[in-house]
Structure 1
Amino acid sequence: MGHRRRGGFTLTELLAVMLILAIAAALARSGFEGLMAGARARAAIREMVTDFRYAQQMAVSEGKNYYVLIDWENNFYRIKTSSHPQPKVIKQVWLEGNVRLTGIKSNDNNFYSRKEFHFCSSGAPSSGITIYLQDYRGKDYSITVLPATGRVRVYY
């Protein structure tokens, strides 16, 4: 009589399947972490754009200047009013590890490490400006505030 094989898997087969699943899980996790970090960088950039638009709208609705200070050396931006005698800081944001400022260029084509501009009561900025940013992977982004109209655009 022949030797009959019993149903089931050998220990070697089970270990091979578990190894394949572990490798697949590790690859999926690293890809997911990169995806999440990229999403956080884009969210920080969208927040900056939203804050600039908010400052512009508040300047129009309140009829006074709203100032935006961008400082790439310290990786932050600040929005404040022109209230006298002491300007009121509306918001100050330090950009975290996922995104950093890499340059600021005014419409005079000069680069700055620190630049302030304001939105006047018509919504127009005092000058056009382009802010350059980079995420942790080295992907470049830019935010442009157009002169005259004050339109705020982001380029991914």
Structure 2
Amino acid sequence: MVPMVSRAVKVKPATSPAGNKRSGGFTLLELLLVLALAAIMMVLVPMKVSSALPGTQLKSAARELAAGLRYARTHALISREESTLVLDTEKRNFRVSGRNRVYSIPASVDIDMLTAESETRGDHVGGIRFFPDGGSTGGRITVSHGERGFGVDVDWLTGKVRILDVEPEG
């Protein structure tokens, strides 16, 4: 085994070129540079976030519609009675059987619905109905913005709800 030897080491304080001791603070120039960079970031970051907002609203709308459809299916299975999601494309909202709440869809999102003729209620209102056995009338709700779109599909046989990437109709 090697014996350990301890040794004291002297550290010299930092000095400036003029030989004066320097403190550990920042210069005024360094502080102004950091403030300028922070100001630039405060201007640029919100611009990036706002340009991504329509895509976020689009995905959120698709997820909210899918959640509403899944709730309607679950409600039909548990309560043993039919349950419906009713969508109004003109007023940009939907509601689900068993809930009093009206869900709104952002104005930046385009909506289109394909459903069974028996579930249409005028030009702008339609629904997707779920049955106690798990089946449904089926259909698709498409939400889009610009070049991006999502289809919220409901299988008529199983009532399964899926969100798919789709190309918006031109």
Please report the TM-score for the alignment, with normalisation by the length of structure 2.
0.63
- Segments of 5+ residues of structure 1 without an aligned counterpart are 1-8, 82-88
Instruction: Return the match for 2:133 from 108, 122, 133.
Output: 122
* RMSD value, Cα: 3.3
Corresponding position: 1:151 with 2:160: yes
Write out per-residue CA displacement over residues 85-127 of structure 1, whole angstroms, 9 at most, x where no aligned residue. Answer: xxxx543212133x5342112368xx9632122100011112x
Aligned counterparts of 2:101 and 2:34: Cα–Cα separation in 1: 53
Instruction: Return the match for 1:113 from 124, 128, 149.
Output: 124
The question of whether the paired residues in 1 share the 8 Å contact of 2:58 and 2:109 is answered with no
Shift in alpha-carbon separation, 1:57–1:14, aligned structure 2, 3 A:
closer
Instruction: Give the 4+ runs in structure 1 shifted more than 6 A.
Output: 13-18
Aligned counterparts of 1:36 and 1:73: Cα–Cα separation in 2: 22
Instruction: Return the match for 1:100 from 109, 115, 120.
Output: 109
Q: Name which one, 1 or 2, has greater alpha-carbon Rg.
A: 2
Aligned residue for 2:156, secondary structure, equals coil
Aligned residue for 1:102, secondary structure, equals strand
Please report the TM-score for the alignment, with normalisation by the length of structure 1.
0.68
Shift in alpha-carbon separation, 1:10–1:62, aligned structure 2, 3 A:
closer
Structure 1 residue aligned with 2:93? 76
- CA drift of 1:24 comes to 4.0
The question of whether the paired residues in 2 share the 8 Å contact of 1:75 and 1:100 is answered with no
How many residue pairs match? The answer is: 138
Percent sequence identity is 21
The residue identity in structure 1 corresponding to 2:50 is E
The residue identity in structure 2 corresponding to 1:56 is R
